[in-house]
Amino acid sequence: MIDTEALAIDLKGRIPQPYIAIEGPIGVGKTTLARQLSDLFDYQLLLEDAHENPFLTKFYENRRQNALATQLYFLFQRIQKIDDLKQQDLFRPLRIADFLIDKDPLFAQVNLDPDEYALYHKVYNQMTVDAPTPDLVIYLQASVDRLLERIERRGIAAERAISRHYLEELNEVYSEFFLHYDAAPLLIVNANQIDLVNRREDFEQLVNYALDIKAGRHYFNPTFID
């Protein structure tokens, strides 16, 4: 694992953005990166805690039958977390999150039939709070082969039924969403080859790149020499 304490000493004096959100498809490593950045900068960690969704295992086994319940649970959970965040100390908004509330409709778009999506959209419009806008969004991209490899490696029982086709759909809607995203500074990361858990140089290079971003759209696409 990366020694974030040692890295923090190296980065002393450089100020990260106060609210960072990390996004990407299942298995890409967004929660891992969120935890590492939280440890590095001593920021509050805001996680969506997918494992708490009681419908998730059944959803992966039968998407069609369990999609609406799964989606609505995630919506309520994410809104509650955002609402809790807004009730906290606004004078110290130092936070790392592994989700954007804006992405919730992406999953609904993939998983729900038209009637279910219409119902979901009514609920979403009624419930969505005025979520704070991140100061930086980090979008992690990876190929379906790489996602499947990482999902298999982490060995979460509920995820064993995730299909290649589902990951292909998620990659497509994520790419479309972030193609037009301009609500906050955006860093798009090619996460196919980097190892943010075991290779300090990968993590340090990404952190150094992200620390310099204050506006606009940026791409982090490291190359490796064997």
- Per-residue confidence (pLDDT) for residue 225, from 0 to 100: 44
- Per-residue confidence (pLDDT) for residue 28, from 0 to 100: 93
- Per-residue confidence (pLDDT) for residue 84, from 0 to 100: 76
User: Is 4-220 assigned to CATH 3.90.1200.10?
Assistant: no
Would you tell me how many other CB atoms lie within 10 Å of the CB of residue 166?
A: 17
Catalytic residue among 39, 84, 98, 135: 98
Task: Give the pLDDT of the chain (226 residues) as one tens digit per residue.
Answer: 666 767 766 776 777 888 999 999 999 999 999 999 999 888 888 888 888 899 998 998 888 899 999 999 999 988 888 777 766 655 456 788 998 888 888 889 899 999 999 999 999 888 766 778 899 999 999 999 999 999 998 888 778 888 899 999 999 999 999 999 999 999 999 999 888 888 888 898 999 999 989 899 999 987 654 4
- Per-residue confidence (pLDDT) for residue 49, from 0 to 100: 83
Total-model pTM:
0.89
Mind spelling out the 3-state secondary structure of 156-201?
CHHHCCCCHHHHHHHHHHHHHHHHCCCCCCEEEEECCCCCCCCCHH
Query: If you write DSSP's letter for every residue of 51-84 in order, what string do you get?
Result: GG-TTHHHHHH-HHHHHHHHHHHHHHHHHHHHHH
- Residue 98 is a catalytic residue: yes
- Per-residue confidence (pLDDT) for residue 191, from 0 to 100: 92
The domain limits of the chain are: 4-220
Kind plus residue range of the DSSP H or E element containing 140: strand 136-141
